[in-house]
């Protein structure tokens, strides 16, 4: 009997998550070979290969990686501003592509990507909105769908990072951080957004310059009137903290955190708080890649978050940034039906 097909993957952008996905794809996900890597910073990718004890072709230009016949699938984990050009090139080359969120910098770029993907006649792209795979969110959604708490009325969320560097500016809190909730919430409560407003309350002294707005409060209302509030605070200092309560007519669903051993010591009872997304969503990333590779290795279209999901999130994020610019002015939102090309199968 012939062995399972080994899928040949090339990864573009070997920074924090690129290194993490490199490790995942070579050590955790079965039947994958990472045949090539690329980072725009000289020697960065090779250093990570050496640290992880791996061998792969190390390209300095992502075009060469994409055009390598030994790369069947392109994984884009480069910085946000490079996603558009890398994804467009990968699709033009007709390769299955996984792109970390956000799909691109704005809705127009996402629409260009959609048009490029449509030329291929079927879905070839998945976006890294991994929370759809997190067992705790999947369970919450199932309970909402089953009517366990009655109709959802409000969603109360927190997205806190311990710290971010100075270049992590105001817009990144929306397009890189809040984008997770923006993408997730309409799926969770089965409703489209009708409006969004974002404002900056009292600011942290830990922001590296006065232009940075941190924290921010994002408020969304859905077509049926569900109110969603997301506190986005990317320099909270104390840890990585994700909260999601869905308040319904009959009860509340509360997102669990990753269990940590509790310590009773010196008249104190304490549990640790995680400090980054790697450990907090580790199982979600693993399940996400098993699903993505499982499909594309069979030459099937991926079924996870699509370019259309990336587009809906980008339209909402564009409006969020406009609101922030206009001191929290409400921005109305209206979305077209998903094209048949992206309809859930």
Ligand X SMILES: O=C1[C@@H](O)[C@H](O)[C@@H](O)[C@H](O)[C@H]1O
Check residue 78 for interaction with ligand NAI (CB under 6 A): yes
What does 217-251 look like in DSSP terms, one character per residue?
EEEEEETT--EEEEEEETT-SS--EEEEEEEESS-
Of the candidate residues 9, 38, 274, 320, the single one contacting ligand NAI (CB under 6 A): 38
What does 277-336 look like in DSSP terms, one character per residue?
HHHHTHHHHHHHHHHHHHHHTTTPPP-SS-HHHHHHHHHHHHHHHHHHHTTT--EE---P
302 binds, among ligand NAI, ligand X, none (CB under 5 to 8 A by kind): none
Region binding ligand NAI by CB under 6 A among candidate stretches 79-87, 148-156, 255-263, 295-303: 79-87
**Quick one: tokens of 327?**
């001191």
163 binds, among ligand X, ligand NAI, none (CB under 5 to 8 A by kind): none
Least distance in Å: CB of 276 to ligand X? 8
- The residue sitting closest to ligand X, measured at its beta carbon, is 177
Q: Cβ(114)–Cβ(294) under 8 Å?
A: no
Residue with smaller CB distance to ligand X, 35 or 109 = 109
Of the candidate residues 10, 128, 215, 310, the single one contacting ligand NAI (CB under 6 A): 128
44 binds, among ligand X, ligand NAI, none (CB under 5 to 8 A by kind): ligand NAI
Of the candidate residues 31, 70, 79, 163, the single one contacting ligand NAI (CB under 6 A): 79
Check residue 77 for interaction with ligand NAI (CB under 6 A): yes
DSSP 53: T
Check residue 132 for interaction with ligand NAI (CB under 6 A): no
Least distance in Å: CB of 179 to ligand NAI? 8
Check residue 39 for interaction with ligand NAI (CB under 6 A): yes
Q: How far apart are the C-alpha atoms of 83 and 329, rounded to whole Å?
A: 29
Residue 46: strand, helix, or coil: helix
Least distance in Å: CB of 14 to ligand NAI? 6
Residue with smaller CB distance to ligand NAI, 125 or 226 = 125
The total of other beta-carbon atoms located within 10 Å of residue 22's CB is: 24
Check residue 44 for interaction with ligand NAI (CB under 6 A): yes
Provide the binding-site residues for ligand X, judged by CB under 6 A: 161, 176-177, 180, 234, 277
Pairing outcome for strands 193-199 and 73-76: unpaired
Q: How far apart are the C-alpha atoms of 5 and 257, rounded to whole Å?
A: 36
234 binds, among ligand NAI, ligand X, none (CB under 5 to 8 A by kind): ligand X
Q: How far apart are the C-alpha atoms of 44 and 13, rounded to whole Å?
A: 9
Least distance in Å: CB of 242 to ligand NAI? 11
Terminal C-alpha separation, the chain = 32
Check residue 100 for interaction with ligand NAI (CB under 6 A): yes
Of the candidate residues 46, 52, 67, 80, the single one contacting ligand NAI (CB under 6 A): 80
Q: Cβ(46)–Cβ(73) under 8 Å?
A: no
Residues 6+ apart with CB under 8 A from 158: 230, 231, 233, 241, 242, 243, 244
Residue with smaller CB distance to ligand X, 158 or 180 = 180
Q: Cβ(233)–Cβ(160) under 8 Å?
A: yes
Residue with smaller CB distance to ligand X, 152 or 304 = 304
**Quick one: tokens of 264?**
């009773």
Q: Cβ(183)–Cβ(100) under 8 Å?
A: no
Least distance in Å: CB of 55 to ligand X? 28
Residue numbers of the site for ligand NAI (CB under 6 A)?
Answer: 12-18, 38-41, 44, 62, 77-80, 82, 100-101, 128, 130, 176, 277
């Amino acid at each position: 009997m012939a062995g399972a097909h080994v899928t040949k993957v090339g990864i573009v952008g070997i920074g924090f998550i690129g290194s993490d996905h490199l490790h995942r794809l070579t050590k955790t996900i079965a039947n994958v070979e990472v045949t090539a890597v690329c980072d725009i910073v000289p020697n960065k990718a090779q250093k990570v290969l050496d640290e992880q004890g791996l061998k792969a072709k190390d390209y300095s230009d992502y075009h060469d990686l994409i055009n390598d016949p030994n790369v069947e699938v392109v994984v884009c984990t480069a910085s946000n501003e490079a996603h558009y050009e890398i994804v467009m090139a990968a699709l033009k080359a007709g390769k299955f592509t996984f792109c970390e969120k956000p799909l691109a910098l704005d809705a127009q770029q996402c629409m260009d990507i959609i048009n490029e993907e449509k030329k291929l006649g079927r879905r070839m792209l998945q976006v890294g909105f991994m929370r759809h795979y997190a067992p705790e969110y999947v369970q919450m959604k199932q309970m909402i769908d089953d009517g366990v708490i009655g109709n959802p009325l409000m969603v109360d969320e927190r997205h806190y990072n311990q710290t971010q560097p100075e270049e992590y500016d105001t817009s990144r809190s929306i397009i890189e951080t809040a984008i997770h909730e923006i993408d997730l919430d309409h799926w969770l409560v089965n409703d489209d957004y009708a409006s969004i407003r974002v404002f900056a309350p009292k600011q942290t002294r830990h922001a590296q310059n006065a232009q940075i707005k941190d924290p921010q409060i994002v408020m969304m209302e859905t077509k049926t009137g569900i109110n969603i509030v997301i506190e986005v605070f990317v320099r909270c200092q104390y840890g990585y903290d994700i909260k999601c309560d869905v308040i319904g007519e009959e009860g509340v669903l509360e997102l669990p955190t990753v269990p940590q051993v509790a310590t009773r010591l010196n008249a104190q009872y304490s549990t640790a708080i995680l400090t980054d997304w790697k450990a907090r969503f580790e199982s979600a990333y693993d399940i996400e890649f098993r699903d993505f590779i499982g499909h594309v290795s069979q030459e099937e279209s991926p079924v996870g978050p699509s370019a259309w999901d990336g587009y809906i999130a980008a339209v909402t994020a564009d409006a969020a940034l406009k609101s922030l610019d206009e001191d929290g002015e409400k921005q109305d939102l209206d979305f077209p039906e998903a094209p048949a090309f992206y309809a859930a199968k």
